[in-house]
Amino acid sequence: MKKLIALFMLTGLLISPVITKAQDTSEEASAGDTTEMMEEEAAAPAPAPVVTDDEVVVEEQPFHQIIKDKFIEGDPTFMTPVLICLILGLAVALERIITLNLATTNTKKLLAKVEDALDQGGIEAAKDVTKSTKGPVASIFTQGLMRYSEGIEMVEKSIIAYGSVEMGRLEKGLVWISLFISLAPMLGFMGTVIGMIGAFDSIEAAGDISPSLVAGGIKIALLTTVAGLIVAIILQLFYNYCVAKIDSLVNDMEDASITLVDILVKHKLTK
């Protein structure tokens, strides 16, 4: 019995160092795994910050500020003549538009007044009606009525002659608008050519083709060209409106003149 107990004790003493060593190895392995996990977490990249739409603020420049910046970038030396063409062209166009609108007359109403005046007071009463009415149609009527005593043929000739004079007055100033329409793109193209010459001079001086050397000249060239074309387009719209308005007034004058002659013939026959 004593031998068995001694044998068990001896076996326990032999196994105890092995168990202790295994436990130490297990703890070291566990510590190593933990360290590796921490290093991996530290090495992992941080998540990118999420930027919402509310946080992105884009500051937009007002339209007039953009125009001002482009004017300066295009070189005021070339942009100023184009701007002058726009200002002068618009001034003439607005003056013509106001004048043509004031010259518009209700021809049907005027003819009715003239016919009533002829029936009630004769030629003098009709003259008073036309003289008190503004517009080219009334002026033509006045000239025709003043020639009534010389016959219907003289009335027709007077109306035709004075109609040409009134047409010339209506077309007054359109030649200047047409000039600025042609001049603005030419000035823009001149800026283009000068800008390209400057770009090639820079290339020749540097001895090498570099985008930074030619960018400035090309930018001036493009901006002046665009400015000239925009001015021409704007003035062309006003010019076409004035031409259409003049054509309408001329048609009214011709129709009213024919009607006036018919009224005078009728009045002479019934006299």
Output the CA–CA distances (angstroms, integers) from residue 188 to 27, 85, 179, 181, in the order listed: 85, 11, 14, 12
Rounded distance between C-alpha atoms, residue 37 and residue 35, angstroms: 5
Task: Count how many residues are written for the chain.
Answer: 271
Inside any domain, residue 143:
yes
Q: What is the pLDDT of residue 92?
A: 94
Inside any domain, residue 46:
no
One digit per residue, the tens of pLDDT, for the chain of length 271 reads: 444 444 445 444 444 444 444 455 445 444 444 445 454 544 444 454 444 444 444 567 775 677 666 667 666 787 888 999 999 999 999 999 999 998 888 888 888 888 888 888 788 888 888 888 888 888 888 888 888 888 888 888 888 888 888 888 888 889 999 999 999 999 888 888 887 777 777 777 777 666 666 666 677 778 888 899 999 999 999 999 999 999 999 888 888 888 888 888 887 756 6
pLDDT tens digits along 87-132: 999 999 999 999 999 888 888 888 888 888 888 878 888 888 888 8
Rounded distance between C-alpha atoms, residue 3 and residue 71, angstroms: 114
Q: Which among 236, 204, 202 has a CA at the least distance from the CA of 221? A: 202
Inside any domain, residue 166:
yes
Contacts of 16 (CB under 8 A, 6+ apart): none
Q: What is the pLDDT of residue 5?
A: 46
- Residue 128 three-state SS: helix
Q: What is the pLDDT of residue 246?
A: 92
Exposure string over 170-196, b if 16+ CB within 10 A, otherwise e: beebbebbeebbebbbebbebbbebbe
Q: What is the pLDDT of residue 107?
A: 84
Inside any domain, residue 44:
no
Inside any domain, residue 181:
no
Q: What is the pLDDT of residue 236?
A: 95
Tokens for 105, please give them. Answer: 């007359």
Inside any domain, residue 25:
no
Range of the domain at 122: 106-171+254-270
Inside any domain, residue 196:
no
Inside any domain, residue 162:
yes
| AA letter at 165 | V
Q: What is the pLDDT of residue 4?
A: 43
Say how many domains are in the chain. Answer: 1
